[in-house]
Structure 1
Amino acid sequence: MSRRDGALDLLKWLALLAMVLDHLRYVGFSADWLYVPGRLAFPWFCLAMAANLARIGASALPWRYLGWLLLFGAVSEVPYRLFFPEGATLNVLPTLTLGLLVARSWQTPTLEARGLAVGALLLSAWFSAQLMFGFFGVLLPLALLLVIRRPWYFAVLPGVVCVAANQWRALYGAAWLGNAVALWGLVACLLAPVLGLLLLRQAGRIHPPAMRRWAYALYPAHFLVLLVVRQVITQAMR
């Protein structure tokens, strides 16, 4: 990949858009169908992480990358709780942080790296119920890293991991009963890694605005913006 990969920036912007669309379901109007494009957000963020790791190779653990995830994971928890006051999990950044440790440790076959991976996996298993997307969500960056340079059809394997990370029992049960949103949500989970991988390989000529470190602030900021939108809609409906 090039030093500034336009396809990678496009993937990040599309992942951000999918996340915002997913969260629009909670601003006060009925739009359950937004659940379907929302299933693309997390696997595409994980794929962007895997692409960055594949590009820098098996050098030392990118501590700066890890530090930004930890910092904004902490900062984002307050606006996340304001927007989801009854949320049962932490925001998504702790899941991505543990996923980074696991995926990076796979690239770096040292005793320290293996220890970090084992620790991250144990934490993920123990606190799976508190992590957004749970234990399988932590494994998804590694699953994507393993297939990122393989033929596109290998991405079906992380698609299965993505389904497992998205409460597959509830999705499968609802889809079995004929719920169209659940059915298409399952399809979106399965295909998200394939679509993301094809985008990375085919959209290199597109050059959207570069998404740099300032983009971490978009995560907590979008919760605050949507919270204001929800309050405006609530007041207007009274």
Structure 2
Amino acid sequence: MPDPILTPFAARRDGALDLLKWLALLCMVLDHLRYVGWSLDLLYVPGRLAFPWFCLALAANVARAGATAREGAGQWRYLGWLLLFSLLSEVPYRLYIPDPDTLNVLPTLALGLLVARAWQRRGGLALWLGIVAALLGGLFDRYLMFGLFGVLLPLALLLVLQRRWYWALLPGLLCLAANQWESLLPAARQGSQVAAWAMVACVLAPWLGLAILRRLRGVSPPPMRRWAYLLYPGHFLLLLALRNLLA
């Protein structure tokens, strides 16, 4: 019997995958509430779940598309939407986040999608685009949110998607590396509970995400469709309005 995670999109809607996306969105909003003007440093911890869960959702989409006999035209549309909203989100991102030193997260996800598809297809245009994406991730590591490690995280999650739960600890370490462990580790050693729990969240995030996909297949949250791309730039604008009201 085929794994439901790999069942083609047209055959069924994966409620657990939609739930994972909603939870990732919630964690992202909680993380960004830290910049609204309140003292909410503790929200940094659930915020560490957002990016790996978005990467896991991306990896699951790549795996499900690869289970079909088609070349995966939907994956190219997926890439197109990521690139489009990468551009549309940059201004709201920079208006809301104080002194950002990287681009918004969508370019990292777009490059990660190309790398994951290159591994899955292992030939043709997809392979060459994946190689270019990995090279760009390395060259522009300092400008990408979560850097090269973030670009490689969707591939790592794709590789462990159908393995036993303990394999998820490997992308967990990659997630920790993508989250400035050089700052988190010294802070945790100096007694920062936020830093310590953030490190735990990074390591366990892929395992928790896989548990959601495998254990909660019977749930039926509202499906997250293309309109959901608007939520990324939109939440920056809403939080910016809230901050201006509180000022």
- For residues 125 and 150 of structure 1, what CA distance do their matches in structure 2 show? 28
Instruction: Name the counterpart of 1:7.
Output: 16
Q: Residue type of the partner of 2:28?
A: M
Q: Residue type of the partner of 1:187?
A: V
- For residues 144 and 109 of structure 1, what CA distance do their matches in structure 2 show? 17
Instruction: Name the counterpart of 1:175.
Output: 188
1:50 to 59, 74, 82: 59
Q: Equivalent residues in 2 for 1:20-39 (5 A)?
A: 20-39=29-48
What fraction of aligned residue pairs are identical, expressed as a percent? 66
Instruction: Name the counterpart of 1:69.
Output: 82
Once the two structures are TM-superposed, the CA of residue 21 in structure 1 deviates from its matched residue by 0.1
Structure 1 gaps of 5+ residues are none
Instruction: Name the counterpart of 2:230.
Output: 217
Instruction: Name the counterpart of 2:49.
Output: 40
Q: Residue type of the partner of 1:6?
A: G
Once the two structures are TM-superposed, the CA of residue 118 in structure 1 deviates from its matched residue by 1.4
Q: Could you say what secondary structure the match of 2:115 adopts?
A: helix
The answer on 1:19 being equivalent to 2:32 is no
**1:44-70: CA deviation from partner (whole Å, max 9, x where unpaired):** 000000111111116535210000000
The answer on 1:198 being equivalent to 2:211 is yes
Runs of 4 or more, structure 1, over 3 Å off, are none
Once the two structures are TM-superposed, the CA of residue 113 in structure 1 deviates from its matched residue by 2.3
Check whether the contact 2:15–2:220 (CA below 8 A) recurs between aligned residues: yes
- For residues 71 and 229 of structure 2, what CA distance do their matches in structure 1 show? 22
Q: Which moved more, 1:52-61 or 1:23-32?
A: 52-61
Q: Residue type of the partner of 1:83?
A: Y
TM-score, normalised via structure 2 length = 0.93
Check whether the contact 2:172–2:206 (CA below 8 A) recurs between aligned residues: yes
- For residues 168 and 139 of structure 1, what CA distance do their matches in structure 2 show? 16
Q: Residue type of the partner of 2:31?
A: D
- For residues 126 and 15 of structure 2, what CA distance do their matches in structure 1 show? 30
**1:86-127: CA deviation from partner (whole Å, max 9, x where unpaired):** 100000000000000000110001142221111111110110
The answer on 1:84 being equivalent to 2:97 is yes
Q: Could you say what secondary structure the match of 1:211 adopts?
A: coil
For these two proteins, the number of residue pairs brought into alignment is: 234
Structure 2 gaps of 5+ residues are none
TM-score, normalised via structure 1 length = 0.96
Q: Residue type of the partner of 1:60?
A: E
Q: Could you say what secondary structure the match of 2:199 adopts?
A: helix
Taking only aligned residues, the RMSD between alpha carbons, in angstroms, comes to 1.0
